[in-house]
Structure formats: C-alpha cells, structure tokens
A and B are shown apart, each in its own frame.
Chain A
C-alpha cells in the first residue's frame, strides 16, 4: 500500500541554514495494516505524511502510495487516499452537510450518490443531529468526527490521520477511536496515523513506527518493542541498612539491567525480562539472606520506556532539538 525508499525532505530556512526534517525514511506498509507513527514534536512525522499525501514534494528518495508515485502521479494518489490533517478540514463558514456533500462531489460522486453518502456518513459518525449546523459552531470532538467523515467520503482504501485526537478530552478521544475502528472494519482500510500520544499508539496501532530526528529508529508491534527494548521494571523497598544487599540480589535476576539503588530511600529499581516471575524470586532470595522487603511493585513498560532506551530521552519531555525541528509553515503545523 505504501513503499518509500530513502525519503528525505530538507527545508531551506535561510541561506545559511537548511533543516533536514526527514533524513532517509524507508517504509513498507501492507494493505490492511494500522500503523502509528510515533515521535516527539519535530521528529519528521508530519513532514513524512505531507510527502505521502502529495502536499509537499520530497527532496530525494521515492514514495509509492496506493500504487502510484507521489511525484509522477500526484493526481492518482489523491484520488485513492483519504486524508485527515492536523487542522479542521471543514471550512468554518460551511454547514456540516454542505461541506460533506461538496467533498463527495469533489471525489466524483454525482448528486444522488453524494447525498446518499452524506446520509450514511452522518449516521455512522453520529453527526445526524448536526447536519444544518455551521462548522464553527461545532465542538472540537464533533468537528473532528466531521473531518473523519470527509476523509471517508470516497471510501478510500488508505486513510491518513495526522494527529487525529490532539486537543480532544479523553472521552472524545475514545469516542473518535470507536468510530475510526468501526469504519476501518466496514471499509477494509489501511490506516496510517501520526500521534504523540503514547497510549494511543500503544492501544490502537498494530504496528508502531518510532521516528526521531527524521529517521525511523524502531518499527514493530508495540508488544515486541516493549519486550525487546524496555522490559519490565521492578521497584522494591527494604529496611534502611539492606538496600545494597538487596541490589546485589536483584542484579542476579534473569535479564537484570539498569540497576538503580537509592540508599537513602532504601529503594532498588531494576529492569528484568519477566517482572511478575522475577519479583517472587527476589522475595524468596531476600528472605533467605535475611533482607526484609517492605514494598514491591512491577511496572510494565510503556512506549516511552522504549523511546528512552533508544534515545536516552523521554518522549514526554520536549521535542527534538533545534537542528532537526521542522520549520513552522504555519502555527498549527508546528508538530512536524
């Protein structure tokens, strides 16, 4: 469905400064996949998506989307794909149904088909009550559902979602996802989305592509990434004098690494390959050597732990540094 080869994008900011927003991304996405592209602000997620959707031409490399080259046949690509950008696709002065209808006609539906399609989508995305409402009067969640409806008007086989749920409250996010997943089953779609919500990538996507500094640094299922690159973390506390002995015991657990001993708090942390199995083992060993464990916890890894392992930085804090941040082409696009 998508194949890119060493895709790059440079933005010339001034005569002396060129920003390498994307530096050689090669991706292969099969029909039916649901792929999340995850990365900090400025990592190159949106820039990549803008190249794949023909909005900007790549500096070098090639990309084939839905069977067509994005540079040679942009019109064919546009016909095949659905796109929900970061902003609001629906014009604010338009009425909900008008805008959806226009979108249908744009994609070549005749009037009757467009009207019928409007009804279907308004119903499916819970917008039926709002057909005569002006877009500017909709709530954030409603507007986002309309954007998704517009992206689906021609039943595309490939849908791009650029930060679909940014700015929505948890309830609206969950609701939006319910609709997206339902549409995915109904239309047998391939979905590629960018997000900086870790939990979203984790729970929704079947495959996670982690991008940093314009490059893919990891690409697998969330489960595999977490197991291979992060692992479980156990945190145990003991009595004041026993922290170092406990740390020594913990270091002998299978796959133990990243050992942190906090003497003052009498706390020991370690990554292990199997947290739930390792903890009882550690407790037994502690008892045998006369170390009393006061509290014990197992933390399952998150994608943030994966990112931390890969880059030494946390995804939650901050985007990439200045040298790789894509320039703002508009305020709303700052999350390139």
Chain B
C-alpha cells in the first residue's frame, strides 16, 4: 500500500452511517493461505520501510564470511582438501546461509514478546485471523530477507570461485524455509511460554543455539573432532540440514544426504508447528 493512494479530497460532511456500512463488503471467507499472507505482509512492512537497517541486515552475513572464511582456510590448511573438498567457499557459503536462517528464526520470538507487551498480539487474537497463520506468517517473514541475503552472498562469492548450481540453490533455500518455519515456531512457542519472564527468552535461546550450531558442523568440520561429537551430531537435525545444503549447493539434487536433510527439515517443521500452534491458541490467557 502507499500513502499516495488517497483519493481526491473527501467531501466535508461526515458520511451517513447507513452509507458507510454499505461500503464495507462482506468479509471474505477465511483461508489459511490468505491469513498467512496478511500476517507476513504486516511483518514485512516495517522492514521494507526502513532501508537503512535492511541494507545492514543484508550485508551482515558477508562480514562474517569475510572474517571467518580466511581463518577457516588458514586453520584447516592442507587438510582442507581432504575434509571439506577443494573449494572452501563451496563448503562455507551454504553454511553461512544456514547460520543466517538459524539466528534469524530462532530470535524471531522476541518480536512476538514485544507485541505481547504492547498489546498488539492481543489485538490480533481478537481479529478473525486463524491462529496458525499468526505463527506461519511470522516465520515465513524471516525467509524473505534470507532470500535477498542468499542472492547477495552468491553474487559476491562467485568471483572468488564459488560455483552456482541454480536448481540446487533454489532447492536449498526451499529446504531452509521449511526448516526455518519449524525453528521459528519453536521460537514463538518459547516466547509464549516465557512471556511472563521475558528475560528467560534469551537465556534459553542462547543456551540452545550454540550447541545446535557447533554440533552441526556448520562452521568447522566435525570430521576433525572427537568421536562423541560426531555421535551427538547424529541427534541434531540441523546437522542433516547442513549436510544436505552443502550437497544441494554442489548441484546434487537427489541423494541420500539430501533426502535426510528434507526429513530433518520437515520433521522440525511438523513438530515446531504442532508445539507452536498449541501455544498460540492458548496465548490469550
């Protein structure tokens, strides 16, 4: 919408009640897709209206890539060829995208906490919006900037030898979106659970996110770590997603690694949505 869309100056007299009523059409049938779209657009508007923070948000992963990437090359040194393949960027770029999604979606519950405080969430609970849409729309919103970030990262890294496989990259982003909806839902469920002691949100989020991240082999290959870590990673859905993303960004569309990634992402989404929607329904209390 735009503020420039206002019609010509309104006639002075106040509209008669009867007329005003009539101009309001009968509300459309509710459907989850439409509601989700409404919630997502509502969440996106403040982002799009603030280009400054948008630009900073977009280049944030690049900064990390630029600072961490060279260290990775240096510390792995000669091993690089063995454990992560010849091209460090090919290994690292998908991981950065997963990391961006991980941080974005796991923190997204804090936005909801804020809307709990102000009363905006309560207001939305009294509207006819379906409860799941309040959750899915918000989680999906995190994926829009991520898609932008992916484009930027890929564009910047291609001159450094990153090879793009478009179909694989698209499938990779789709998988991330599925995983992100799940993780975002968990984040919202957490926010709803701790809404009376808000500081708990960050305590729990920070406590969980680092083990989850390190035990996924996202930043450093687990192959060089001790055996127990590799065992622990076997229980971490994120580890399967990271492996699958690397495979997809290598152009490998169908393989057992990719299939396991989809299973992990879908399972995260299914459990996350179940937990999250339950929490959302009770959040009026």
A residues engaging B (CB < 8 A)?
Answer: 50, 53-56, 75, 78-79, 81, 83, 85-95, 97-99, 101-103, 105-111, 113-117, 119-120, 123-124, 131-132, 147, 150, 154-155, 182, 185-188, 328-330, 332
Contact call B116/A330, Cβ cutoff below 8 A = yes
B128 within 8 A of A: yes
Whole-angstrom distance between the alpha carbons of A110 and B15 in the complex?
20
Q: List 10 A-B contacts (CB under 8 A).
A: A79-B27, A90-B123, A98-B46, A98-B49, A106-B124, A108-B128, A116-B23, A155-B20, A182-B14, A187-B21
Contact call A85/B119, Cβ cutoff below 8 A = yes
In the complex with contacts A107-B27, A108-B26, A330-B196, A54-B126 CB distance below 8 A: yes
Residues of B within 8 A of A155 (CB): 20-21, 24
Whole-angstrom distance between the alpha carbons of A94 and B48 in the complex?
11
Contact call A98/B15, Cβ cutoff below 8 A = no
B284 CB to nearest A CB, Å: 4
Contact call B126/A81, Cβ cutoff below 8 A = yes
Whole-angstrom distance between the alpha carbons of A67 and B177 in the complex?
41
In the complex with contacts A88-B120, A187-B17, A106-B26 CB distance below 8 A: no
Contact call A50/B284, Cβ cutoff below 8 A = yes
Contact call A92/B14, Cβ cutoff below 8 A = no
Contact call A108/B7, Cβ cutoff below 8 A = no
Contact call B123/A83, Cβ cutoff below 8 A = yes
Interface string of B110-121 (1 = CB under 8 A from A): 000011111110
B residues engaging A (CB < 8 A)?
Answer: 1, 3, 5-7, 10, 14-15, 17, 20-21, 23-28, 30, 35, 38, 41-42, 45-46, 49, 114-120, 122-129, 195-196, 284-285
Residues of B within 8 A of A123 (CB): 10
Which of A78, A95, A105, A109 touches B24 (beta carbons < 8 Å)? A109
Which of B6, B15, B120 touches A91 (beta carbons < 8 Å)? B120
Whole-angstrom distance between the alpha carbons of A284 and B196 in the complex?
64
Whole-angstrom distance between the alpha carbons of A115 and B129 in the complex?
19
Contact call B38/A106, Cβ cutoff below 8 A = yes
A230 CB to nearest B CB, Å: 35
Contact call A332/B119, Cβ cutoff below 8 A = yes
In the complex with contacts A55-B126, A78-B126, A81-B126, A101-B1 CB distance below 8 A: yes
Contact call A53/B1, Cβ cutoff below 8 A = no
Contact call B196/A329, Cβ cutoff below 8 A = yes
A217 CB to nearest B CB, Å: 27
Residues of A within 8 A of B5 (CB): 115
